[in-house]
């Protein structure tokens, strides 16, 4: 007992020493204060007694341990309160009954404490007498007092802080999950991919393996969304996401990029067969019908694949190239997959360049309209003019429409461009009427997208009313694909509706480039077409190629039977003209008569007189055309 008392006195001294150090520095600071204030320090006269008092009142646990056994030698009142034991009980308990540390064996705990002296605090769990547990941090000091070494331990309760930290961590993880996952499908999202793909590329680089990036885009999803509503569209996307996920291995990453686009990353590819298999599995999984809201929906997917390192070594390249290959898959009839090839990239770059300068062209008046006469094959009188769009590129000269119409269609630019041509043609007609007091009908080329998407009939009706023009003076030229091809469900019906409205207005309907597409009799009847324009490719070799001759004569005979008029396009020579007249063709158009010219050069077409061809040699015509249009177009 006497020894215990001694130990206690000694330990209290040790801890008191600890606290003294802090107090002493405070005293030093205090003493630096001005002289007159020193009088107020009378309580410091009890300086020797103060550390004991501070130790007794110190609000957090302070313990003194025997560094050899780890047993408690002394504890301050706060320690007794917190642990719930008397000092006598504490002195009998092994330290490891009171504290434990994660990952530290009980036998090693005191050793760990010794190691932790003067370093980072040691995190421990404190177990008090009532079995309550709390998280604490212990700061240890090895002190020499009266030639005896002790371990002074200051313990802080960090339970509340830990709890807050845990909650914050959970919140952070939740936010992190939300930020990196798509809320609709639960799949990782674009941000996740941006974080994951560079790591996957790095890994592939390190171990010399191949990595595949698959870019998926649902076919015709927009149609389902538009026709069945967004809710159904969302449910379909969820099912699609589940199906894609379930066809892939757990280590493959499946990401929803947004809308109906998904990306799959497959690591450690052994052969292209493995990619083919994966893409085939996805195509197969999605091709089975899906029941959404009681309706059976079918959707297919187009997939483009880019491989690291063959097709790109950065995330940007791999995504861009897989996207390019995906478009190629769509072009090839959808519901299939394509591996990227360098030639695709070249085409894409060209397409992007054309698209961006076309947007500028629209805004900065680089578009123009030229006119080419269509003549009566017998009398050579002008019966109509065809409006042909021209793009006067600031550095490439005239760019012909065949080089940019397809791009304009894909980019959705064909609608504003088509509106421009329509408006310009009507304005030119009004000007001609003012200047020459006469007019001939004008034929305008309309692409499928424009026919289905723009309010063509409404626009024509408004513009002709506004300018006091008879809509019968307008002809619309549609290609066979525009009216016949089923690009998207409902497209043919949309075209048919638009054509019916145009007919109601009295607009004349012509089928352009006839013979190159479906050449179906049934739609000619159903759509009540007024004119067929035989494609230039049949006219070109008409005189030398027997099969072209057979086709052209069959078209003319059929049209005559259906009371449809026929225009032959691209007549360049006298022999072609003679043959077509012999076959009973009604109208002719081609460089033999005139090449397309600007509106200001059209005066002679309104005189009502036959075109004088005597001065015009076809060879010259051809040369002119070559210089003015074809060569310039090629340079572009």
**Beta-strand runs (E) in 361-465:** 367-376, 382-393, 397-399, 442-446
With CB under 6 A as the contact rule, the residue among 217, 477, 480, 548 that binds ligand C2E is 477
What does 596 interact with, of Mg ion, ligand C2E, none (CB < 5 to 8 A by kind)? ligand C2E
Of the candidate spans 210-218, 248-256, 574-582, 584-592, the one that interacts with ligand C2E by CB under 6 A turns out to be 584-592
Residue 572 found at the interface with ligand C2E (CB under 6 A): yes
Please tell me whether residue 117 adopts helix, strand or coil conformation: coil
591 binds ligand C2E (CB under 6 A): yes
Closest by Cα among 256, 323, 260, 258 to 297? 260
Distance of CA 58 to the CA centre of its chain: 62
- Picked from ligand C2E, Mg ion, none, the partner binding residue 447 (CB below 5 to 8 A depending on kind) is ligand C2E
Per CB under 6 A, 280 contacts ligand C2E: no
Please, what is the minimum distance in Å from the beta carbon of residue 536 to ligand C2E?
A: 6
- 345 versus 572: smaller Cβ distance to ligand C2E: 572
Token pair belonging to 136: 């604490």
Choices 103-111, 248-256, 257-265, 588-596; region in contact with ligand C2E by CB under 6 A? 588-596
Q: Name residues contacting ligand C2E, limited to 80-139 (CB under 6 A).
A: none
How far is it, in rounded angstroms, from Cα 149 to Cα 17?
13
591's contact among Mg ion, ligand C2E, none, with CB below 5 to 8 A by partner kind, is ligand C2E
Q: Which long-range contacts (CB under 8 A, 24 or more apart) does 451-456 make?
A: 451/478, 451/482, 451/483, 451/494, 451/495, 451/498, 451/499, 452/491, 452/494, 452/495, 452/498, 453/415, 454/415, 454/418, 454/419, 456/422, 456/498, 456/501, 456/502
Phi, psi of 208 (to 5 degrees): 65, 30
Distance CA 583, CA 570 (A): 16
| Interacting partner of 130 out of Mg ion, ligand C2E, none (Cβ under 5 to 8 A depending on kind) | none
- Report which of 286, 344, 11, 316 is spatially closest to residue 151, judged by C-alpha positions: 11
Q: For residue 100, give the nearest of 126, 130, 137 by alpha carbon.
A: 126
- E strands, 394-502, are 397-399, 442-446, 474-479
> Of 442-461, which residues contact ligand C2E (CB under 6 A)?
445-447
CA 442-444-448 angle, to 5 degrees, is 160
Which residues, numbered 566-585, are part of the site for Mg ion (CB under 5 A)? 569
CB 497 within 8 A of CB 451: no
Q: How far is the CB of 385 from ligand C2E (least distance, A)?
A: 12
- Residue 306 interaction partner, one of Mg ion, ligand C2E, none, beta carbon < 5-8 Å per kind: none
Q: Count of residues binding Mg ion (CB under 5 A)?
A: 5
CB of 246 to Mg ion, least distance (A): 50
CB of residue 468 to ligand C2E, shortest distance in Å: 23
Residue 121 is given by DSSP the state P
Q: Please tell me the distance from the alpha carbon of residue 216 to that of residue 327, in angstroms, as a whole number.
A: 10
Among 217, 345, 513, 548, binds Mg ion (CB under 5 A): 513
Task: Return the range that interacts with ligand C2E (CB under 6 A); candidates 101-109, 180-188, 304-312, 401-409.
Answer: 401-409
Cα distances (Å, whole numbers) of residue 286 to 108, 245, 380, 400, 489: 59, 11, 59, 41, 18
Task: Please pick, from the candidates 323, 477, 480, 548, the single residue that binds Mg ion as defined by CB under 5 A.
Answer: 477
> Per rule CB under 6 A, is residue 67 in the interface with ligand C2E?
no
Tokens of 204: 């592939």
384 vs 399: CA distance, rounded Å: 24
Site string for Mg ion, 437-476 (x = CB under 5 A): --------x-------------------------------
Which residue has 């009566």 as its token pair?
Answer: 376
Size of the site for ligand C2E (CB under 6 A): 24
Instruction: Measure the CA–CA gap between 172 and 183, rounded to whole angstroms.
Output: 17
Closest to ligand C2E by CB, 93 vs 597, is: 597
In this structure, what token pair is assigned to residue 539? 């006219």
512 binds ligand C2E (CB under 6 A): yes
Which of Mg ion, ligand C2E, none lies near 55, with the C-beta cut-off 5 to 8 A by kind? none
Query: Helix, strand or coil for residue 293?
Result: coil
Q: Is 480 in the site for ligand C2E (CB under 6 A)?
A: no
**Residue 421 lies near ligand C2E (rule: CB under 6 A):** yes
Least distance in angstroms from the C-beta of 345 to ligand C2E: 26
- For residue 519, the minimal CB distance to ligand C2E (Å) is 15
Which residue, 318 or 422, has its beta carbon nearer to ligand C2E? 422
- Chain residues binding ligand C2E by CB under 6 A are 372, 388-389, 400-402, 405, 418, 421, 445-447, 477, 512-513, 536, 569-572, 589-591, 596
- Chain residues binding Mg ion by CB under 5 A are 445, 477, 512-513, 569
């Amino acid at each position: 007992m006497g020894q215990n008392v001694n130990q206690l006195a000694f330990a209290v001294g040790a801890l008191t020493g600890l606290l003294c150090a802090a107090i002493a520095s405070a005293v030093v600071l205090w003493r630096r204060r001005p002289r007159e204030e020193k009088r107020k320090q009378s309580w410091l006269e009890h300086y020797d007694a103060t550390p004991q008092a501070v130790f007794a009142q110190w609000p957090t646990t302070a313990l003194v341990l025997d560094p050899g056994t780890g047993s408690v030698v002394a504890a301050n009142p706060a320690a007794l309160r917190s642990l719930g034991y008397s000092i006598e009980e504490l002195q009998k308990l092994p330290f490891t009954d009171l504290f434990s540390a994660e990952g530290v064996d009980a036998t090693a705990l005191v050793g760990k404490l010794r190691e932790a002296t003067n370093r980072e605090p040691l995190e421990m769990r404190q177990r008090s007498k009532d079995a309550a547990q709390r998280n604490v941090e212990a700061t240890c000091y090895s002190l020499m007092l009266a030639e005896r070494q002790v371990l002074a331990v200051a313990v802080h309760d960090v339970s509340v802080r830990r709890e807050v930290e845990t909650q914050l961590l959970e919140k952070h993880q939740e936010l992190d999950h939300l930020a990196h996952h798509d809320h609709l499908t639960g799949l990782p999202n674009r941000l996740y991919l941006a974080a994951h793909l560079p790591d996957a590329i790095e890994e592939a680089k390190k171990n010399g393996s191949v990595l595949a990036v698959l870019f998926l885009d649902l076919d015709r999803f927009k149609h389902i969304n538009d026709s069945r509503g967004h809710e159904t569209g969302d449910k379909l996307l969820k099912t699609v996401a589940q199906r894609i996920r379930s066809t892939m291995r757990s280590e493959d990453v499946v990401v929803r990029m947004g809308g109906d686009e998904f990306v799959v990353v497959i690591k450690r590819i052994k052969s292209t067969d493995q990619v083919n298999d994966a893409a085939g599995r996805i195509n197969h999984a999605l091709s089975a019908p899906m029941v959404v809201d009681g309706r059976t929906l079918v959707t297919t997917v187009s997939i483009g694949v880019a491989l690291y390192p063959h097709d790109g070594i950065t995330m940007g390249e791999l995504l861009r190239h897989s996207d390019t290959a995906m478009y190629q898959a769509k072009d090839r009839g959808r519901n299939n997959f394509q591996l990227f090839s360098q030639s695709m990239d070249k085409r894409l770059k060209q397409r992007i360049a054309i698209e961006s300068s076309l947007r500028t062209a629209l805004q900065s008046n680089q578009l123009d309209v030229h006119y080419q006469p269509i003549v009566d094959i017998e009398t050579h009188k002008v019966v109509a003019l065809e409006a042909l769009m021209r793009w006067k590129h600031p550095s490439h000269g005239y760019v012909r429409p065949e080089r940019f119409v397809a791009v304009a269609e894909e980019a959705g630019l064909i609608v504003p461009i088509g509106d421009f041509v329509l408006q310009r043609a009507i304005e030119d007609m009004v000007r001609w009427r003012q200047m020459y007091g006469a007019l001939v009908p004008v034929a305008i080329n309309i692409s499928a997208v424009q026919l289905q998407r723009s309010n063509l009939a409404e626009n024509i009706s408004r513009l002709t009313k506004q300018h006091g023009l008879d809509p019968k003076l307008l002809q619309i030229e549609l290609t066979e694909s525009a009216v016949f091809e089923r690009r998207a469900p409902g497209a043919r019906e949309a075209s048919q509706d638009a054509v019916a409205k145009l007919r109601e207005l009295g607009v004349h309907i012509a089928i352009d480039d006839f013979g190159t597409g479906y050449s179906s009799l049934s739609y000619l009847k159903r759509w009540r077409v007024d004119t067929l324009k035989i494609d230039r490719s049949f006219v070109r070799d008409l005189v030398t190629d027997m099969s072209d001759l057979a086709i052209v004569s069959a078209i003319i005979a059929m049209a005559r039977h259906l009371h449809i008029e026929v225009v032959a396009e691209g007549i360049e020579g006298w022999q072609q003209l003679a043959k077509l007249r012999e076959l009973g063709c009604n109208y002719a158009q081609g460089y033999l008569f005139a090449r397309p010219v600007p509106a200001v050069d059209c005066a002679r077409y309104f005189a009502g007189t036959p075109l004088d061809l005597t001065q015009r040699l076809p060879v010259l015509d051809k040369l002119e055309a070559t210089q003015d249009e074809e060569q310039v177009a090629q340079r572009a």
